[in-house]
Chain A
Amino acid sequence: MKGHYQLVIIGAGPAGMSAAALAADHGVDVALLDEQAAPGGQIYRAMESVPDQRADLLGDEYKHGRKIVSAFRDSKLDYLTNSQVWSLNSKREIGLLQEGKAHIISADQVLLANGAMERPVPFPGWTLPGVMNAGAGQILLKSHGIVPDDGVVLAGSGPLLLLLAWQYMHAGVKIKALIDLTPTRNHLRALPRLPRAILAGHYLIKGLVYKKDLKQAGISTLHNVSDLRVDGDECLASVSFRHKGRQRIIETDLLLIHFGLIPSAHLSRAAGCQYDWHRSQQCWRPQLDDWGRSSIDGILIAGDGAGIGGARTAEHAGRLAALQATHALGLIGQDERDRLARDDRKWMREELHIRPFLESFFHIPRKLLGVPDDDTIVCRCEEVTAGDIRKAVADGHSDSNQVKFLTRCGMGPCQGRQCAEAVAHIVAAAGGEKVAKGGHYRGRPPVTPLTLGQLAGLYSGEKE
Chain B
Amino acid sequence: MKSADVLIIGGGLMGFSTALQLAMRGTRCIVLEKDSPGRHASGVNAGGLRQLNRHPAEIPLSVAAAEMWHNIAGLVDSDCDTRFPGQIRVAENSADMLILEDRAAMVRALGFEHEEVIGAEELYRLVPALIPHCKGGLISRNDGYGRPFHALNAFRRKACSLGAEFRPSTRVDELEYNAGEWSASTPNGEFRAPLLVNCAGAWAGRIAAAIGDTAPVKPAAPMLMITERLPRFMEPVIGAASRKLSFKQMQNGTVLIGGAHMAELDFVHQTTDMNWAKLAVSARTVMALFPQLENVRVVRTWAGIEAFMPDGLPVIDTSNALPNAYHAFGFSAHGFQLSPVIGKIMSQLILDGQTEFSIESFNIERF
Contact = CB atoms under 8 A, between A and B. Distances in A.
Contacts of A87: 274, 276
Contact of B149 (A90, A405, A452): A405
A71 interface: no
Given A90-B273, A91-B273, A445-B274, A451 B296 contact: yes
Contacts of B38: 405
B-side interface mostly: mixed
B293 interface: yes
A399 interface: yes
B36 A446 contact: no
A450 B298 contact: yes
B227 to A, nearest CB: 7
B169 to A, nearest CB: 9
Interface in A378-410: 395-399, 401-402, 405-406, 408
Contact of A456 (B43, B280, B302): B280
B273 A451 contact: no
A455 B271 contact: no
B286 to A, nearest CB: 6
Contacts of A451: 294-298
Given A413-B299, A446-B301, A456 B274 contact: no
Contacts of A397: 36
Given A444-B302, A445-B274, A446-B301, A405 B280 contact: no
B321 interface: no
Q: Which of A87, A398, A464 has the most CB of B within 10 A?
A: A464
B277 interface: yes
Contacts of A462: 277
A297 to B, nearest CB: 13
Contacts of A399: 36
Interface string B255-298: 00000000000100001011011011101101100000111111
Contacts of A396: 37
Contact of B294 (A402, A406, A452): A452
A449 interface: yes
Interface residues of A, number: 38
A411 interface: yes
A interface SS class: loop
A90 B280 CA distance: 19
B300 interface: yes
Interface residues of B, number: 35
A272 B264 CA distance: 13
Given A405-B38, A464-B281, A446 B273 contact: no
B293 A452 contact: yes
A155 B138 CA distance: 60
A93 B299 CA distance: 19
B301 A457 contact: no
Contacts of A402: 36-37
B300 A415 contact: yes
Identify which of A406, A408, A451, A455 gathers the most chain B CB atoms within 10 Å of its CB: A455
Contacts of A89: 273-274
Closest 8 CB pairs of A and B: A453-B294, A449-B297, A456-B283, A458-B280, A455-B283, A89-B273, A405-B149, A456-B284
20 contacts: A93-B276, A395-B157, A398-B36, A399-B36, A401-B36, A402-B36, A413-B228, A415-B300, A445-B274, A445-B301, A449-B228, A451-B296, A452-B294, A452-B297, A453-B295, A456-B283, A456-B287, A458-B277, A458-B279, A460-B284
Interface of B: 36-38, 43-44, 149-150, 153, 157, 227-228, 252, 266, 271, 273-274, 276-277, 279-281, 283-284, 286-287, 293-302
